[in-house]
């Protein structure tokens, strides 16, 4: 089971992204936990912008599992998701693979090493440029 901590940037208004820190094993069950939390929180606090800090997660995900879960999930397409990876090439590559799966399903997503840069991208980038 993943340990998921939810934080907010500034006040909890619809304009501020949700910040989620996930630790532990990121397998399909852990990814499902993230999906459930995002679905619940984006209905209340956000315009669909989510920063997921996975720097302390250990990946055990397969693309086919992600595709199947996203296909069955009630996520709203077009949500903007910033993934934060650890500063190791294999970790960044795994986060990039997750990002590619999300892009394939209509999400606006990018991978970062720095949470501050990721938060800035969420708040200020033009969705049409993705």
Q: Which domains are present in the chain?
A: 3-116 (3.30.750)
Enter the tokens of residue 24: 């532990």
Task: Kindly tell me the sign of the dihedral angle through the C-alpha atoms of 115, 120, 46, 11.
Answer: positive
Rounded to whole angstroms, how far apart are CA atoms 19 and 41? 10
- Residues 12-53 have pLDDT tens digits of 555 677 889 999 999 999 998 888 888 777 666 556 689 999
Q: Is the pLDDT of residue 1 over 70?
A: yes
pTM reported for the whole predicted model: 0.84
- Residues 44-103 have pLDDT tens digits of 655 668 999 999 999 988 888 888 888 887 766 667 899 999 988 888 999 999 999 889
Q: Which residue has the higher pLDDT, 102 or 129?
A: 102
Nearest to 22 by CA among 51, 44, 48, 43: 51
């Amino acid at each position: 089971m993943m340990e998921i901590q939810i934080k907010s940037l500034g006040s909890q208004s619809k304009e501020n992204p949700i910040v989620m820190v996930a630790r532990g094993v990121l397998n399909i069950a852990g990814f499902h936990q993230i999906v459930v939390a995002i679905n619940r929180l984006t209905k209340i606090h956000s315009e669909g912008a989510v920063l997921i800090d996975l720097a302390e997660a250990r990946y055990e995900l397969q693309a086919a599992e992600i595709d199947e879960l996203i296909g069955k999930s009630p996520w709203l397409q077009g949500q903007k998701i910033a993934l934060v990876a650890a500063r190791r090439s294999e970790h960044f590559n795994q986060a990039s693979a997750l990002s590619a799966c999300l892009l394939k399903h209509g999400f606006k997503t990018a991978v970062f090493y720095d949470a501050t840069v990721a938060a800035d991208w969420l708040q200020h980038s033009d969705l049409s440029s993705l």
